[in-house]
């Protein structure tokens, strides 16, 4: 009964985190997964999500689902330290729930939190008897969820090693999915092309800048204290698989420079504390200050209404009788494809005949505007007069 | 993968295909992410575009000659 009550309270927390993220509308990266757009990641999860992309509540459902997975994963953390005194278990559970990784990423429709959860599952499986086939299948699923799963190859290795199988078998279970992933990548050249584009992003950024940015995300991922204790525990316990994955994640973040990768540190921090539980010093003060950091992150990340241009424009257009194509002048992301019930194309004079509305994200181009009327400014939206009634 | 082997084996073809897709996206008002290559030879390639949307996706097909980048529409495969 008590466990049920705690699960219920955790679920309320998960829903709250999901609703905080929903206020920002669907971001371009999130739309890629909701619509099964075939880059940058493999299809295991995005294909499933897209099976119900016509459902009005798809976004809300997926946010709550992902937030539930992140928050209820605390039960895995709880189980991983079952040999510790209850108070220590509570300490680690609270550190998880108030970590920056959970607060800032639970409820986002991104693959990074799922990869972090998959790493946590590998760490949990390594503590118990699991069949190598199960681990191998889960490794395959992880790789086909997101490429960054490869950062946790050391964890999958140790997970298999602890099942007592030979190195050859370990090599097969780990290598075969990687080969399949490579074949999938070759068949989808948009993916390696986007990797090349993203690898050249921020080339001007210096090494000190990259290190500072990585350090910042390291601190945020565990709301400072779990970051410190978890890293200390990793190195003090000399767990090579944790240290190796830690450096791989650091390198990945230093090169890619996306804030949402902070969550990738989280399972490693938990494992570091699990490996050396005594690293948590002054637990009551630690939890208090962790909660403060967590709340500060929430307030700074979610303060005030965030511009949701695509959603607001589509909402305005939905109040009219508009039909036809929506033309967009200026660079636009996949969130427009997600939010719009109308076909979306870049503005071209030749497409005006089939257009029902024009959105100008930059200065509006010139065209014959007789029969058109401005619906709103900022951004400027033009609609054919006949749809305005 | 056999269909797209030229993309990996021939840098000239790769650059031509890239340019052709970018020009097609710009001239048709489409997003690059919707393209997938159905066939590719040294002389031409066929590309399908899927305009991802909630519900049914709109499909388009283009035959593009190399290196002229002349473009014609083709029928969409099921």
Q: The domain containing residue B49 runs over which residues?
A: 5-73
- Say which range, A223-232, A279-288, A306-315, has the weakest mean pLDDT: A279-288
Question: Which residues in chain A have Cβ-Cβ distances shorter than 8 Å to B55?
Answer: 53-54
* Residue B62, domain member (yes or no): yes
* Residue B22, domain member (yes or no): yes
| Dihedral angle over CA of A145, A147, A150, A156, nearest 10 | 0
Q: Which of B9, B29, B36, B71 to mutate to test the interface with A (most CBs of A within 10 A)?
A: B29
Contact A348 B53 (CB under 8 A): no
**pLDDT interval class at A366 (50, 70, 90):** very high
Q: Is A216 found in the same domain as A325?
A: no
- The minimum CA-CA distance between A57 and chain B, rounded to whole Å, is 12
Average pLDDT across chain A, whole number? 91
* pLDDT tens digits, one per residue of A39-76: 889 999 999 999 999 999 999 999 999 999 999 999 99
Q: Is A161 found in the same domain as A283?
A: yes
Question: Which residues in chain A have Cβ-Cβ distances shorter than 8 Å to B29?
Answer: 327, 345-348, 351
pLDDT of residue A199: 67
Q: Is A111 found in the same domain as A176?
A: yes
* Residue B10, domain member (yes or no): yes
* A214 vs A259, residue with greater confidence: A214
**pLDDT interval class at A303 (50, 70, 90):** low
Decide if A327 touches B, using CB distance below 8 A.
Answer: yes
Tally the domains of chain A: 2
Residue A250: how many other CB atoms lie within 10 Å: 19
**pLDDT interval class at B2 (50, 70, 90):** confident
| CB proximity list for A279: less than 8 A, separation 6 or greater | A229, A230, A232, A233, A236, A272, A273
Question: Which residues in chain B have Cβ-Cβ distances shorter than 8 Å to A189?
Answer: 4, 7-8, 37
Nearest to A35 by CA among A50, A52, A54, A55: A50
* Residue B39, domain member (yes or no): yes
pLDDT of residue A157: 97
Which residues from B are below 8 Å from A when comparing CB atoms? 1, 4, 7-8, 18, 26-37, 51-55, 58
Scanning the structure block, which residue is given the tokens 């593009």?
B64
- Which DSSP category does A42 fall into? -
* Residue B40, domain member (yes or no): yes
Q: Is A335 found in the same domain as A265?
A: no
Host H or E run for residue A187: helix A167-187
Decide if A337 touches B, using CB distance below 8 A.
Answer: yes
- State yes or no: pLDDT of A123 exceeds 90: yes
Question: Which residues in chain A have Cβ-Cβ distances shorter than 8 Å to B8?
Answer: 186, 189
Nearest to A112 by CA among A26, A173, A210, A45: A45
Minimal-distance CA residue of chain B relative to A330:
B29
Question: Which residues in chain A have Cβ-Cβ distances shorter than 8 Å to B37?
Answer: 189
Phi, psi of A385 (to 5 degrees): -55, -35
Decide if A38 touches B, using CB distance below 8 A.
Answer: yes
- The minimum CA-CA distance between B25 and chain A, rounded to whole Å, is 9
- State yes or no: pLDDT of A279 exceeds 90: no
In this structure, the strands spanning A344-346 and A325-329 are parallel
Tally the domains of chain B: 1
Q: The domain containing residue A285 runs over which residues?
A: 2-302
Decide if A335 touches B, using CB distance below 8 A.
Answer: no
- State yes or no: pLDDT of A327 exceeds 70: yes
The whole-number average pLDDT for the span A199-225 is 84
Decide if A347 touches B, using CB distance below 8 A.
Answer: yes
* Residue B60, domain member (yes or no): yes
* pLDDT tens digits, one per residue of A129-172: 999 999 999 999 999 999 999 999 999 999 999 999 999 999 99
Contact A186 B4 (CB under 8 A): yes
Domain boundary among A258, A283, A302: A302
* pLDDT tens digits, one per residue of B25-51: 999 999 988 999 999 999 999 999 999
- State yes or no: pLDDT of A307 exceeds 80: no
* A293 vs A180, residue with greater confidence: A180
* Residue B17, domain member (yes or no): yes
């Amino acid at each position: 009964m008590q466990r049920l009550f705690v699960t219920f309270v955790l679920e309320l927390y998960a829903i709250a985190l999901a609703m905080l993220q929903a206020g920002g509308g669907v971001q371009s990266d999130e739309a890629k997964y909701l619509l099964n757009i075939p880059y940058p990641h493999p299809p295991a999860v995005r294909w499933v999500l897209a099976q119900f992309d016509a459902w009005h509540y798809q976004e809300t459902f997926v946010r709550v689902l992902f937030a539930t997975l992140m928050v209820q994963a605390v039960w895995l953390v709880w189980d991983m330290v079952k040999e510790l005194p209850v108070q220590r278990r509570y300490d680690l559970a609270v550190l998880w729930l108030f970590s920056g990784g959970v607060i800032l990423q639970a409820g986002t429709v991104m693959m990074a939190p799922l990869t972090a959860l998959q790493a946590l599952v590998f760490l949990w499986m390594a503590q118990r008897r699991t069949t190598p086939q199960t681990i191998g299948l889960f490794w395959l699923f992880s790789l086909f969820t997101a490429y960054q799963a490869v950062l946790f190859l050391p964890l999958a290795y140790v997970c298999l090693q602890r099942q007592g199988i030979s190195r050859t078998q370990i090599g097969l279970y780990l290598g075969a999915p990687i080969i399949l992933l490579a074949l999938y990548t070759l068949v989808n050249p948009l993916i390696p092309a986007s990797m090349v584009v993203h690898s050249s992003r921020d080339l001007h950024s210096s090494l000190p800048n990259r290190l500072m940015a990585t350090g910042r995300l390291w601190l945020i991922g565990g709301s400072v204290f779990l970051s410190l204790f978890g890293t200390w525990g990793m190195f003090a316990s000399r767990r090579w698989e944790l240290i190796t994955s830690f450096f791989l994640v650091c390198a990945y973040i230093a090169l890619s420079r996306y804030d949402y990768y902070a969550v990738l540190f989280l399972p490693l921090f938990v494992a570091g504390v699990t490996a050396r539980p005594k690293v948590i010093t002054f637990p009551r003060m630690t939890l208090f200050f962790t909660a403060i950091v967590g709340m500060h992150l929430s307030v700074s990340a979610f303060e005030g209404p965030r511009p949701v241009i695509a959603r607001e424009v589509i909402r305005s257009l939905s109040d009219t009788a508009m039909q036809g194509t929506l033309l967009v002048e200026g660079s636009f992301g996949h969130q427009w494809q997600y939010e719009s019930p109308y076909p979306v194309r870049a503005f071209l004079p030749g497409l005006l005949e089939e257009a029902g509305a024009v959105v100008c994200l930059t200065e509006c181009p010139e065209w014959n505007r007789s029969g058109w009327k401005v619906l709103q400014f900022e951004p400027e939206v033009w609609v054919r007069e006949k749809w305005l009634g | 993968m056999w269909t797209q082997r030229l993309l990996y084996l021939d840098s000239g073809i790769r650059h031509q295909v890239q340019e052709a897709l970018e020009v097609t996206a710009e001239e048709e008002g489409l997003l690059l992410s919707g393209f997938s290559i159905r066939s590719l030879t040294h002389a031409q390639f066929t590309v399908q575009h899927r305009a991802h949307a909630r519900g049914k996706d709109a499909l388009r097909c283009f035959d593009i000659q190399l290196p002229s980048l002349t473009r014609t529409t083709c029928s969409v495969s099921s």
